[in-house]
Chains A and B, each alone.
Chain A
């Protein structure tokens, strides 16, 4: 480990501390020791002239598939993809095979991450045993082992009484309960329910399947009162969900939410050629939903942007639209996609964007990350905001290629990713 690392002349953006200016960042023994004009001779200096220097980015929603589907991704390959994408911390979803649902499982993820030595890997645990929505999993043990939240992601907890118990029980440990909002009572589909699904003859997932569960959960949070209950709505995708979040936040409820890149860039019409790379859950919706999500982001109602990086094998994505699995692998290009959807469209400024990738998600999961405050871990991402490049899935470090952005020309290139004061990714020397 470098004992001293100085990043000079960059545009330092640290939203949590209200910093946006041409400054230097000094990291000593893996911790941030100064942000300002630093006149000190150190062994390693990085010149960041013309670049953005941000707290290390956080993606609080990724699928690294380990254990169980190592052919699609491992914690090691996922971590390598993460640092290439500028992410110094990620949160794995527990829908592995078997699911992450015990203290031992959580420790297993942490061990694999230590061996990979790339990015900080956190994990959420399952809310219920086997993600079956019936009995609570051992949330207490998992919290003690370092799980940063709970979710049955891939499925919503259908039974309201189980969800109420999960929220109550999790409040003992001051840990967030995250929900994949989808009431399967509305029927099981493979794309948005609407005109496109009618023409294609595919079963639809109604917007109400998402919104009715979100509405229900917000009522549960309200019933439990302020206390320590923390609820997080994962990958919201509809205008109605944005409205529910707005109302809940106005009422001061402890409710947070996240939005993915693909829900800001694609509509259901992308499915018209049965291209399974556009098969995601929640499904791609309508233009009006994109507009509503962007409005919510610009109003500050959204806490985090996430990739929902969901790697799948080519042979599985080559199946019929009906049977192919849900998901897009986009961790390595995620940042540029947010730039395209939000900066280029004037929804956010750079500071606003970086907030949703640093202190925003750090606050949701309650970790000591996402800022350059003195004494914090030296996690830094250096970005060239103007550099253009073409997304090429063949250069991915991820094991999977199910990425509909292949060939896109985008802006905002990650130059260096520094984790705990150590350069873990540097563009060019791969």
Chain B
């Protein structure tokens, strides 16, 4: 499970349908199910993450798996124990599923080539963050029933966003029209060859959007200064209460978190009636349970 670019429509829908079943578990008084009993899931996090890691831990826990937590901030050293060494060591302990978060794009793909345990990408570099993409899609599907024909705006730092890439692949495959919004300095090269349209003006497109996903401005990832000041960025791309006046009444406001309040989104919008930000977090759990469950099932079928 490395990215949504590799999945087809039926596979994506199958994961979402499975997640629906798991969502109900969370409403029961005993919040556990047995399908991963006796299995070991390793959370291999080489980059800071609270939300995603906890969500995966809880998901594995609810499926009755044993969980190993491995958290290490990876410096870019090329000598010493490498990323693969670490993973191979864990594998030697009998891990069945490795959930990996890494600063480098392609790390999960490298891992899946090199070890026999199942690999779930929990966000790698700027490439993909497939469970985030799936939970975004799940949240939209749950409220709007289908993504077919929806106009979905993704706003902000597209160039350095793995969430944007997973959203682009998944949402466009399910029939949504994806519009990327942000300054040209935050767009990746050859963005016109992706299955999207691009706008540099939020005000131009806001009124037609059914869903708006506000990406976090990732100060730690941007090289140079792609925009002159935070104040100027907020002026053009911040989702303010005032701007929201122009949007459709039933627009869904999403954010992958953590929020920079007052930068890409004002508190009154983040906490407002159109916001589904906490709903996303809740759905993330069900989606990750589904992913772990299906990955384990696929491995069992292969064996």
Q: Which positions in A face B, CB cutoff 8 Å?
A: 187, 193-195, 197-202, 204, 273-274, 315-316, 318-325
List of A residues within 8 angstroms of B127 by Cβ:
199-202
B39 located at the interface, meaning its Cβ lies under 8 Å from any Cβ of chain A in the complex: no
A interface, over-half SS:
loop
Number of residues of chain B lying within 8 A (CB) of chain A: 30
Q: Which residue of B lies closest to A196 (CB)?
A: B190
Per-position contact with A for B122-164: 1 when CB-CB < 8 Å, else 0?
A: 0011111000000000000000000000000000000000100
- On chain A, the residues within 8 Å of B189 by CB distance are 193-195, 197-198, 204
Q: Are B190 and A320 in contact (CB under 8 A)?
A: no
On chain A, the residues within 8 Å of B106 by CB distance are 200-202, 274, 320-322
A-chain residues with CB within 8 Å of residue B103 when the two chains form the complex? 322
Stretch in B55-63, B78-86, B254-262 touching the partner? B78-86
Partner of A323, one of B76, B124, B162: B76
Chain B residues numbered 151-201 whose CB sits less than 8 Å from any CB in chain A:
162, 165, 188-191, 193-194
Whether A187 contacts B162 by the Cβ 8 Å rule is no
Say yes or no for B110: interface residue by CB 8 A criterion.
Answer: yes
Contact B104 A323 (CB under 8 A): yes
Q: Within the assembled complex, what's the spacing in Å between the Cα atoms of A273 and B127?
A: 12
Provide the residues of chain A in CB contact with B125, threshold 8 Å: 201-202, 322
Distance in Å from the Cβ of B51 to the closest Cβ of chain A?
Answer: 20
- CB–CB B165/A199 < 8 A: yes
Chain B residue contacts of A204, Cβ below 8 A = 189
Q: Can you name 14 A-B residue pairings with CB atoms under 8 Å? A: A198-B190, A199-B127, A200-B105, A200-B127, A201-B162, A202-B105, A315-B82, A316-B78, A318-B114, A319-B82, A321-B104, A322-B76, A322-B106, A325-B78
Q: How many A-B residue pairs have CB under 8 A?
A: 75
List the A residue with the shortest CB-CB distance to B128. A201
Q: Closest A-chain residue to B165, C-beta based?
A: A201
* B interface residue numbers (CB < 8 A to A): 5, 76, 78, 82-84, 102-107, 109-110, 114, 124-128, 162, 165, 188-191, 193-194, 223-224
Contacting pair B78 A319 (CB below 8 A): yes
Q: Which residue of B lies closest to A323 (CB)?
A: B76
Q: B84 contacts which chain A residues (CB < 8 A)?
A: 318-319
Closest Cβ of chain A to B76, distance in Å, is 5
Q: In the complex, given contacts A320-B105, A322-B76, what are 5 additional A-B residue pairs having Cβ atoms less than 8 angstroms apart?
A: A202-B127, A320-B106, A320-B110, A321-B106, A325-B78
B contact residues around A193 at 8 Å (CB):
189
* Residues from chain B with Cβ under 8 Å of A315 in the complex: 82
| Contact (Cβ within 8 A) A320 B83 | yes
Known contacts A201-B165, A202-B126; is-contact A322 B191 (Cβ 8 Å): no
Q: How far is the CA of A195 from the CA of B103 in the complex (A)?
A: 21
**Nearest chain-B residue to A320 (Cβ)?**
B104
Query: For residue A198, which residues in chain B have a CB less than 8 angstroms away from its CB?
Result: 188-191, 193-194
Give chain B nearest CB distance to A5 CB in angstroms.
46
Q: Please judge, given known A-B contacts A202-B125, A202-B126, whether A273 and B109 are in contact too, CB under 8 Å.
A: yes
The answer on a CB contact under 8 Å between B188 and A274 is: no
| Interface residue from A187, A195, A201, A318 paired with B126 (Cβ < 8 Å) | A201
Whether the pair B109, A274 counts as a contact (CB closer than 8 A) is: yes
Taking a contact as CB atoms under 8 Å apart, the answer to whether B83 and A319 are in contact is: yes
Do residues B102 and A320 form an inter-chain contact, with CB atoms below 8 A? yes
The CA-CA distance from A315 to B85 in the complex, in Å, is 9
In the bound complex, CA of A337 to CA of B114 (Å): 29
Given A201-B162, A322-B125, A195-B105 contact (CB < 8 Å):
no
**Which chain A residues lie closer than 8 Å to B191 at the CB level?**
198
B105 touches A201 (CB 8 A): yes
* A198 CA / B158 CA spacing, docked (Å): 10
Identity of the chain B residue whose Cβ is nearest the Cβ of A276 in the assembled complex: B110
* Chain B neighbourhood of A324, CB < 8 A: 78
Please indicate which of the listed interface residues A193, A274, A316, A321 has the most CB atoms of chain B within 10 Å of its own CB.
A274
Contact A195 B102 (CB under 8 A): no
Query: Considering only CB atoms, which chain A residue lies closest to B108 in the complex?
Result: A274
Taking the closest CB of chain A, its distance from the CB of B121, in whole angstroms, is 12
- Does A187 lie within 8 Å of B223, measured CB to CB? yes
Known pairs A201-B126, A319-B82; A194 contacts B114 (CB<8 A): no
Please, which residue of chain B has its CB at the minimum distance from the CB of A195? Answer: B190
Chain B positions within 8 Å of A318 at CB level: 82, 84, 110, 114
Instruction: Select from chain A the residue with minimum beta-carbon distance to B190.
Output: A195
CB distance B128 to A320 under 8 Å? Answer: no
In the assembled complex, the CB of B203 is this many whole angstroms from the nearest CB of chain A, namely 26
